[in-house]
Amino acid sequence: MVRVDDRLIHGQVVVGWVRMVGATRIVVADDAVAKDETQKTLMQFAAPPGVKVTIIGVDQAAAALAAAQFGDENVMLLVRDPQALVRLMKGGVPMTRVNVGNVRAAPGRERLTKEVAAGPEDLSAWKELDHAGVILEAMWVPGQSTTNFNQVVRARR
Annotate 90-119 with b (16+ C-beta within 10 A) or e (fewer): ebebebeebbbbbbeeeeebeebeebbbbe
At residue 37, the 3 state secondary structure works out as helix
Catalytic residue among 1, 6, 7, 10: 10
Query: What CA–CA distance (Å, rounded) separates 23 from 89?
Result: 21
Helices 82-90 and 120-131, axial angle in degrees (round to 10): 40
10 is catalytic: yes
Catalytic residues, which ones? Answer: 10
